[in-house]
Amino acid sequence: MATERGRQSGWNTALWWGGGFALFALVITLNRDFETFLRYLVLGLPQGAIIALIAVGYSMVYGIIQLINFAHGEVFMFSTFFVLMLLVPPEGGQTMAPALIGATVFLIVACTVWVLAERIPARWMRGAVAVAAGAAAAAANARLMPATGAGAAILPFFAAYALAIVYTCCLGVTMDLLAYRPLRHSPRLIALITAIGLSLFLQNFAQLIWGSSSRYFPASVRPAILGSQQVTLTPALSLSRLDLVIVVLALALMAGLQLFVMKTRTGRAMRACAQDRVTASLMGVEVNRVVAVAFALGAGLAAMVAPLYVLRGTPIHPQMGYMVGILAFSSAVLGGIGNITGAMLGGMVIGIVSAFVPLFDALDRFAWFEAAVRAGWITREGYAEFVQGFGKPGQYQLAVAYAFMILVIVFKPTGLLGKASAKRA
């Protein structure tokens, strides 16, 4: 019974928070008009969907091996560079890029094939297959990348997008194989420090390959369906095609992930490993393989949203994964780290909460503001000074998001859907 009750109270808390927040948002917006509320909500959805899908990557891995994979943000960053490298020739100074990219593709494909080819019993044969696959992939990749100076991309946008997703999955698997698997039985702190080190390494490695300047996808490669034209939902409510795609894709991915985890044999093995790895192995589950699947899935989900995130106007650079990563990780904690549904919920909540923050710059347009001025509690000048003095409070989206998160964690330390780690009897 304890478990049933625990699960319910998780949902109850989530409902309380969600309901409370909706009420708060309603109260401050209804004074103006309901459509303003919807407009901000719609602004928050794509942002939240992106954070949610990245957050899942943290939670899934944590659920199984209790490791906070700090390098997950860098995986996200790499996936955008993978798309970029397939679409845009390297810049002038990047003479090392082709060689380093070749080495990277070789390594990640070879490691992934090594992990997949467990059926081959002889290690040398398995190694040979892995090396051959890596070399073939590196050679093929070199032909797919546009040459320096030449210009035009060889692959269409969506092909590059798909290939980048594959590469990113391979990167996730490789990271686990080389950095984390050898530490599976070491103290958790060691693995955590390794994760931080790996995160820094990947940032610097990306900088070595692609340089530190900010880049964008050139407008010429952007497909029309991911454009910024507005799609009108109601006369007063519209969002860009890109945002619509993000929201629809994210919902589909979340539903798919939920189905995978709950209904498939591998998903079930994953949940079993999250509860008790040793016992799962007694059932014949190959734990290392399940962990590899978790890394690949998490990386793949991040790679699915990464180019869309960039198309919303954020520059591509080696540090881009850091901020997004921390935000997504915090969302995973907010939702209850280790809980996949929680990570999705946490990401959506954070995205939506931060979307409402710009409202604070426009408080003077509310009806109750007028009333407060008439009552003599505030003056218009005072408010204008406040807004100026804080350099527009509406910019403090992250600060408010984190404050909200801290508030939730104070009242429910296990996160929205998390529960106190039950003793394994």
Partner 1 sequence: MTNPPVLLRLDAVEAGYGSLRILKGISFEVCAGEIVTLIGSNGAGKTTVLNAICGVVPPRRGTVTMDGHDITRLQPHEIASRGVVHVPEGRKLFPDMTVAENLEMGAHLRRDRAGIRADMEKMYNLFPILGERRHAPAGALSGGEQQMCAIARGLMARPRIMMFDEPSLGLAPKLVEQIFGIIRAINDEGTTVLLVEQNAHMALQLAHRGYVIATGEITLSGSGSELLGNEMVKRLYLGEA
Does 421 participate in binding partner 1 (rule CB under 8 A)? Answer: no
Q: How many residues bind partner 1 (CB under 8 A)?
A: 24
| 286, 379, 403, 413: residue in contact with partner 1 (rule CB under 8 A) | 286
Closer CB to partner 1, 128 or 283, in the complex: 283
State which of positions 249-268 bind partner 1 (CB under 8 A): 265, 268
**Site for partner 1 contains 381 (CB under 8 A):** no
CB of 1 vs partner 1, minimal distance in Å: 5
Residue 14: partners with Cβ closer than 8 Å, 6 or more residues away = 345, 416, 417
User: Per CB under 8 A, does 31 bind partner 1?
Assistant: no
Instruction: Say whether residue 275 binds partner 1 (CB under 8 A).
Output: yes
> For residues 272 and 283, is the Cβ–Cβ distance under 8 A?
yes
Q: Which of residues 199-238 bind partner 1 (CB under 8 A)?
A: none
> Which region among 151-159, 273-281, 293-301, 313-321 touches partner 1 (by CB under 8 A)?
273-281
Q: 141 with 101: CB under 8 angstroms? A: yes
| Cβ-based nearer residue to partner 1, 7 or 365 | 7
Determine the interface stretch with partner 1 among 93-101, 247-255, 279-287, 377-385 (rule: CB under 8 A): 279-287
Q: Which is nearer to partner 1, 125 or 283 (CB)?
A: 283
In the bound state with partner 1, the residue whose beta carbon lies nearer, of 339 and 354, is 339
Residues in the chain: 425
Give the nearer residue to partner 1 in terms of CB position, either 30 or 283. 283
Shortest Å distance, C-beta 424 to partner 1: 7
Per rule CB under 8 A, is residue 420 in the interface with partner 1?
no
Residue 292 lies near partner 1 (rule: CB under 8 A): no
Residue 59, Cβ density class (10 Å: 0-12 exposed, 13-18 middle, ≥19 buried)? buried
How far apart are CB 269 and partner 1 at their closest, in Å? 6
Parallel/antiparallel/unpaired status of strands 230-234 and 237-240: antiparallel
Judged by CB, which is closer to partner 1: 270, or 299?
A: 270
**The binder of partner 1 chosen from 147, 248, 283, 362 (CB under 8 A):** 283
Least Cβ distance, residue 115 to partner 1 (angstroms)? 14
Give whichever of 102 and 336 is closer to partner 1, judged by the CB atom. Answer: 336
Stretch that binds partner 1, among 2-10, 133-141, 221-229, 355-363 (CB under 8 A): 2-10
| CA dist., res. 246 & res. 267, Å (int) | 25
Identify the residue among 25, 64, 170, 272 touching partner 1 (CB under 8 A): 272
SS (H, E, C) the chain: CHHHHHHHHHHHHHHHHHHHHHHHHHHHHHCCCHHHHHHHHHHHHHHHHHHHHHHHHHHHHHHHHCCCCCCHHHHHHHHHHHHHHHHCCCCCCCCCHHHHHHHHHHHHHHHHHHHHCCCCCCHHHHHHHHHHHHHHHHHHHHHHCCCCCCCCCCCCHHHHHHHHHHHHHHHHHHHHHHHHHHHCCCCHHHHHHHHHHHHHHHHHHHHHHHCCCCECCCHHHCCHHHCCCEEEEECCEEEEHHHHHHHHHHHHHHHHHHHHHHHCHHHHHHHHHHHCHHHHHHCCCCHHHHHHHHHHHHHHHHHHHHHHHHHCCCCECCCHHHHHHHHHHHHHHHHCCCCHHHHHHHHHHHHHHHHHHHHHHHHHHCHHHHHHHHHCCCCHHHHHHHHHHCCCHHHCHHHHHHHHHHHHHHHCCCCCCCCCCCCCC
For residue 270, state whether it binds partner 1 (rule: CB under 8 A).
Answer: no
Dist. CA 15–CA 74, nearest whole Å = 33
Nearer to partner 1, 123 or 424 (CB): 424
Binding of residue 189 to partner 1 (CB under 8 A): no
Least gap, CB of 415 to partner 1 (angstroms): 16
Of 131, 287, 372, 373, the one binding partner 1 by CB under 8 A: 287
Identified binder of partner 1 from the candidate list 258, 281, 319, 395, rule CB under 8 A: 281
Q: Is there binding between residue 33 and partner 1 (CB under 8 A)?
A: no
Closer CB to partner 1, 284 or 389, in the complex? 284
Binding site for partner 1 (CB under 8 A): 1-4, 265, 268-269, 271-272, 275-276, 278-287, 422, 424-425
